């Protein structure tokens, strides 16, 4: 054991070393400090225990051996130093524990804060997952429409293929390289945003690259959308500028139209008022008519060498006559009245008809002859005396346009001279005359609901004359359907809805309503397409519904008449002239009967030497009758004891649709070709079929050009009576040939010839058209 002094020095050195080590460890890591403090505490405690043991042993030895006091005091001093060191270490440990406790508290607070943040992040993650799940089923309708619109395709294709609604879910690729057609909304959106076609990609990686939901494509998509937005904004700016320019142009147009609609008519009214006295002077002064008659007389006496002077004088006379028919102030007032009361379509129609009437009247005055009769009305403008265009008031707010025509002025003179007073006084649908009928009116009205112009005929209260008069003036224009197809379909749907809603009503009320609708329809007339054209209404022409055409000639586009006022008047006057001529012929044949022989024909179809060379016919027309409630007439022809019945069916569109004749002899044999079609054996002959009658039938029903003169249009109206005259002559020839054959057979002059060797008579030699056909 070292001496006490050395032990004190070692204790001091140890204490200093411990102090230094404590200071050093304080600056180290907290865990190392704690370990070192605990180790030093154990060492100091061990030193203290050793010192106490040594001190106790020293005290015991002192009691026994009486040891020195220096050793005892040194042990006490060492114990005291170890005890002090132990207290110091305990204090440091206590401070360190306090520091660790504070740090633990702070860490616990941080842990709690992090736990709360973790809970918030977890909640937000769950919320975003739910939002993502809900957005996966979102329908991108607007983006889909934009994509289809930009690609120029319709999304009806995808809907028809079974994809009713394209859902914004995960895109799937079909992997078909051969089909480049875009069929799904996903492909359309990808193509629009990325300008690629996903159908051309064969693997999922490429599909993810071109998918608009891929985050790597968001920058490119934003650039695409921003570029489109900028382009659209530029277009919107240009559109607004164009609208401003359009507004300015419309303002200028309104100013100019105001000048044209207000200022110019006002000035024209002032001019017409100022020139009214001059118009009266030119109209009442007779020098112009006298000059015209003198010029015409001198023109008949002059030679062909003076044609130049005649043309100059003629122009002067025509100018003078035009002055007589200058528009008067009364005409302007009529136009103003029509404009203020008529709807726009009816006003356009009124202007068309009034202008045509004035033009015809002016040209008619220019071509006036000495006897007051007009020249050929079939050339140039068509018209008749008594033609007028007026407006009348149907109700308080409904005005109509009325076109009046004089029937007596339309009928040619040869009809009245040939058939007598029956001409112009009857109609083609009745065999009895209607005395006093001379005026026919065509009434035009406009329906705001249907948006079309209706036309009807008023023939002084006679329903037969106006029935079907305006039907099919032009091909396939019978007025059975509305030209305005959209309004017609809408009206049909409304009628169906009303019919379904009124199913519970009684049948009597329904019948009354139907009768009322029919009477209203008959009152308004029919909506013909030519009425809409003359009224300025632009509707598509009526469709032509035909069966399968096998003839090459029928496949070609048929000739169509250009609809205009002149063409309408020409067709209308043709229809009236044809119906009245037909009516006159029917009444003449039915009234005269046997006295109608010989059957008259048109003067233009006769030749100068026809009367001298015409053979005498033994066949005569016995009677002419009409079957009840049918458009069919029966002519009875007799020759000695033989009788022939000729039946004819007349169409409403006569003579555009010529009459069809059928013949039947007294023994029941007919000339219809249908009896041969049922007999396939040529060796057998149907007893009811007569080849001679069949030949006559084919002749009168097919050789129509033999009964008309192409240069004279009025001869087409006489085709019925021309056919009848030819039937009488041909049947007379046929019966004469039979009588001669029977006489020769009985005398035995020659053998009977059959088949192709039989001797044919000169067919039609006794016909009144024979000389005309052969140019004799």
Per-residue pLDDT of 363-421, as tens digits, reads 655 444 444 434 444 345 666 667 888 888 877 778 889 998 888 778 888 888 888 75
Considering Cα of 330, then 335, then 336, then 340, what sign does the dihedral take? Answer: positive
Bridging pattern class, strands 642-649 and 632-639: antiparallel
Q: How confident is the model at residue 767 (pLDDT cuts 50, 70, 90)?
A: low
For 195-242, the pLDDT digits (tens) are: 765 444 445 555 556 777 777 888 888 898 899 899 999 999 999 999
Judge whether 534 and 349 are in contact, CB under 8 Å: yes
639 lies in the same domain as 727: yes
When mean pLDDT is compared across 217-231, 285-299, 339-353, 465-479, the lowest value belongs to 285-299
Rounded Cα gap, residues 186 and 444, in angstroms = 59
536 lies in the same domain as 630: no
When mean pLDDT is compared across 56-70, 73-87, 708-722, the lowest value belongs to 56-70
For 688-709, the pLDDT digits (tens) are: 677 888 888 888 888 888 888 8
564 lies in the same domain as 646: no
Give the relative orientation of helices 307-324 and 287-301 as an angle to the nearest 10 degrees.
160
Q: pLDDT at position 89, please?
A: 80
> 321 in a domain, yes or no?
no
Domain boundary pick from 134, 150, 178: 134
> 232 in a domain, yes or no?
no
Contacts with 340 (C-beta within 8 Å, 6 or more apart), sequence order? none
User: Residue 130, SS3?
Assistant: helix
Q: pLDDT at position 311, please?
A: 67
> 13 in a domain, yes or no?
yes
Q: How confident is the model at residue 759 (pLDDT cuts 50, 70, 90)?
A: very low
Residue 128 sits in which domain range? 4-134
More confident residue, 679 or 357: 357
Question: How many CB atoms neighbour CB 9 within 10 A?
Answer: 12
Q: Decide if pLDDT at 302 tops 70.
A: no
Q: pLDDT at position 252, please?
A: 93
Judge whether 346 and 401 are in contact, CB under 8 Å: yes
422 lies in the same domain as 397: yes
Q: pLDDT at position 312, please?
A: 66
Where is mean pLDDT largest: 86-90, 126-130, 513-517, 678-682? 126-130
- Cα 628 from chain centroid (whole Å): 44
160-185 mean pLDDT: 50
Domain boundary pick from 116, 134, 152: 134
**Residue 441, strand partner residues:** 404, 458
49 lies in the same domain as 15: yes
pLDDT more than 70, % of the chain: 58
> 430 in a domain, yes or no?
yes
**Residue 406, strand partner residues:** 439
Q: pLDDT at position 366, please?
A: 47
Domain boundary pick from 107, 134, 161: 134
332-345 mean pLDDT: 79
Q: How confident is the model at residue 260 (pLDDT cuts 50, 70, 90)?
A: confident
662 lies in the same domain as 644: yes
Rounded Cα gap, residues 711 and 575, in angstroms = 18
Q: pLDDT at position 248, please?
A: 95
| Nearest CA-CA partner of 517 in 490, 498, 501 | 498
Rounded Cα gap, residues 618 and 737, in angstroms = 13
684 token code pair: 């057998």
283-308 mean pLDDT: 55
481 lies in the same domain as 532: yes
Judge whether 727 and 661 are in contact, CB under 8 Å: yes
397 lies in the same domain as 434: yes
For 559-573, the pLDDT digits (tens) are: 566 788 888 888 888
pTM of this prediction? 0.55
562 lies in the same domain as 623: no
For 433-457, the pLDDT digits (tens) are: 344 447 888 999 998 888 889 998 8
In what helix (H) or strand (E) does residue 257 lie, and over which residues does it extend?
A: helix 218-258
Long-range contact set of residues 366-375: C-beta below 8 Å, sequence gap at least 24: 366/318, 366/321, 366/322, 368/292, 368/321, 369/296, 370/293, 370/296
Q: pLDDT at position 684, please?
A: 45
Q: pLDDT at position 430, please?
A: 37
At residue 154, φ and ψ (nearest 5 deg) are -105, 140
Judge whether 695 and 726 are in contact, CB under 8 Å: no
756 token code pair: 């192709």
More confident residue, 694 or 292: 694
Judge whether 387 and 379 are in contact, CB under 8 Å: no
Q: 288 preceded by cis ω (within 30°)?
A: no
> 204 in a domain, yes or no?
no
Q: How confident is the model at residue 74 (pLDDT cuts 50, 70, 90)?
A: confident
For 5-15, the pLDDT digits (tens) are: 554 555 555 55
589-611 mean pLDDT: 70
Q: pLDDT at position 43, please?
A: 76
81-92 mean pLDDT: 80
626 lies in the same domain as 520: no
Bridging pattern class, strands 452-458 and 620-626: unpaired
For 631-663, the pLDDT digits (tens) are: 788 888 888 888 888 888 888 888 888 898 888
Q: Decide if pLDDT at 517 tops 70.
A: no
Q: Decide if pLDDT at 716 tops 80.
A: yes
296 token code pair: 């015409």
176 token code pair: 């078909």
> 359 in a domain, yes or no?
yes
| Nearest CA-CA partner of 528 in 443, 419, 406, 645 | 443
Q: Decide if pLDDT at 546 tops 50.
A: no
For the chain, what is the mean pLDDT? Answer: 71
For 496-509, the pLDDT digits (tens) are: 666 665 555 555 54
Q: pLDDT at position 237, please?
A: 95
Q: pLDDT at position 118, please?
A: 95
Q: Decide if pLDDT at 188 tops 80.
A: yes
User: Residue 526, SS3?
Assistant: strand
Q: pLDDT at position 411, please?
A: 80
Contacts with 389 (C-beta within 8 Å, 6 or more apart), sequence order? 350, 353, 354, 357, 401, 402, 403, 404
User: Residue 606, SS3?
Assistant: coil
Judge whether 512 and 481 are in contact, CB under 8 Å: no
Q: pLDDT at position 498, please?
A: 63
**Domain count of the fold of the chain:** 3
Residue 483: DSSP 8-state? S
When mean pLDDT is compared across 259-268, 542-551, 721-730, the lowest value belongs to 542-551
118 lies in the same domain as 58: yes
Buried b (16+ CB within 10 A) or exposed e, 123-155: eeeeeeeeeeeeeeeeebeebbebbbeeeeeeb
390 lies in the same domain as 537: yes
> 212 in a domain, yes or no?
no
At residue 751, φ and ψ (nearest 5 deg) are -75, 160
> 415 in a domain, yes or no?
yes
């Amino acid at each position: 054991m070292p001496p006490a002094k050395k032990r004190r020095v070692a204790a001091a050195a140890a204490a200093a070393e411990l102090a230094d080590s404590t200071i050093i460890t304080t600056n180290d890591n907290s865990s190392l400090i704690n370990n070192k403090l605990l180790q030093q505490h154990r060492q100091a405690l061990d030193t203290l225990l050793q010192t106490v043991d040594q001190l106790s042993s020293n005290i015991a030895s002192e009691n026994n051996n009486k040891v020195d006091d220096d050793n005892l005091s040194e042990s006490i001093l060492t114990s005291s130093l170890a005890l002090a060191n132990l207290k110091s270490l305990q204090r440091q440990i206590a401070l360190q524990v306090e520091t660790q406790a504070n740090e633990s508290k702070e860490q616990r607070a941080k842990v709690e804060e992090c736990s709360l943040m973790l809970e918030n992040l977890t909640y937000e993650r769950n919320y975003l997952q739910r939002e993502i799940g809900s957005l996966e089923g979102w329908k991108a309708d607007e983006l889909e429409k934009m994509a289809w619109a930009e690609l120029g395709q319709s999304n009806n294709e995808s809907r028809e293929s079974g994809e009713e609604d394209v859902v914004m879910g995960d895109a799937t690729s079909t992997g078909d390289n051969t089909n480049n057609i875009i069929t799904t909304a996903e492909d359309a959106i990808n193509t629009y945003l990325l300008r690629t076609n996903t159908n051309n990609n064969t693997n999922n990686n490429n599909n993810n690259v071109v998918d608009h939901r891929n985050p790597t494509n968001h920058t490119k998509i934003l650039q695409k959308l921003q570029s489109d937005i900028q382009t659209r904004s530029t277009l919107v700016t240009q559109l607004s500028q164009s609208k401003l320019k359009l507004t300015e142009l419309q303002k200028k147009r309104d100013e100019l139209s105001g000048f044209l609609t207000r200022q110019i008519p006002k000035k024209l009214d002032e001019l017409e008022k100022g020139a009214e006295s001059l118009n009266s002077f030119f109209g009442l002064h007779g020098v112009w008519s006298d000059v015209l008659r003198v010029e015409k007389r001198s023109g008949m006496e002059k030679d062909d060498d003076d044609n130049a002077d005649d043309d100059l004088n003629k122009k002067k006379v025509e100018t003078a006559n035009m002055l007589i028919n200058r528009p008067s102030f009364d005409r302007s007032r009529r136009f103003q009245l029509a404009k203020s009361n008529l709807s726009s379509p009816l006003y356009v129609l009124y202007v068309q008809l009034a202008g045509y009437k004035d033009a015809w009247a002016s040209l008619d005055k220019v071509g006036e002859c000495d006897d007051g009769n007009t020249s050929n009305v079939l050339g140039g403008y068509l018209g008749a005396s008594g033609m007028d265009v007026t407006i009348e008031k149907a109700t308080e707010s409904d005005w109509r346009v009325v076109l009046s025509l004089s029937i007596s002025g339309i009928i040619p003179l040869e009809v009245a001279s040939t058939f007598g007073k029956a001409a112009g006084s009857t109609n083609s649908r009745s065999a009895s005359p209607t005395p006093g009928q001379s005026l026919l009116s065509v009434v035009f009205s406009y329906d705001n609901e249907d948006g079309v112009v209706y036309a009807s005929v008023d023939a002084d209260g006679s329903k037969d004359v106006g029935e079907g008069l305006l039907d099919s003036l032009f091909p396939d224009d019978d007025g059975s359907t509305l030209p305005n197809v959209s309004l017609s379909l809408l009206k049909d749907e409304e009628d169906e809805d009303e019919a379904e809603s009124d199913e519970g009503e009684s049948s009597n009320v329904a019948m009354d309503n139907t009768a009322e609708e029919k009477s209203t329809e008959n009152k308004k007339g029919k909506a013909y397409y030519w009425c809409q054209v003359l009224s300025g209404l632009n509707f598509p022409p009526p469709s032509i519904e035909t069966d399968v055409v096998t003839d090459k000639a029928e496949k070609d586009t048929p000739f169509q008449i250009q609809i205009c006022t002149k063409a309408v008047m020409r067709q209308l006057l043709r229809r009236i002239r044809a119906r009245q001529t037909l009516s006159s012929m029917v009444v003449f044949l039915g009234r005269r009967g046997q006295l109608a022989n010989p059957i008259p024909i048109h003067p233009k179809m006769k030749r100068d030497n026809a009367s001298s060379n015409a053979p005498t016919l033994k066949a005569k027309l016995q009677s002419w009758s009409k079957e009840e409630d049918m458009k069919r007439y029966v002519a009875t022809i007799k020759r000695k004891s033989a009788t022939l019945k000729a039946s004819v069916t007349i169409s409403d569109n006569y003579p555009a649709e010529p009459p069809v004749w059928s013949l039947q002899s007294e023994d029941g044999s007919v000339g219809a070709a249908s009896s041969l079609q049922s007999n396939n054996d040529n060796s057998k002959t149907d007893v009811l079929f007569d080849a001679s009658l069949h030949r006559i039938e084919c002749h009168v029903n097919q050789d129509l050009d033999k009964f008309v003169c192409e240069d004279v249009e009025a001869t087409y109206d006489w085709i019925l009576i021309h056919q009848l005259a030819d039937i009488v002559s041909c049947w007379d020839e046929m019966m004469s040939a039979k009588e001669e054959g029977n006489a020769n057979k009985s005398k035995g002059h020659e053998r009977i010839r059959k088949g192709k060797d039989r001797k044919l008579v000169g067919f039609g030699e006794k016909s009144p058209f024979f000389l005309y056909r052969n140019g004799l």
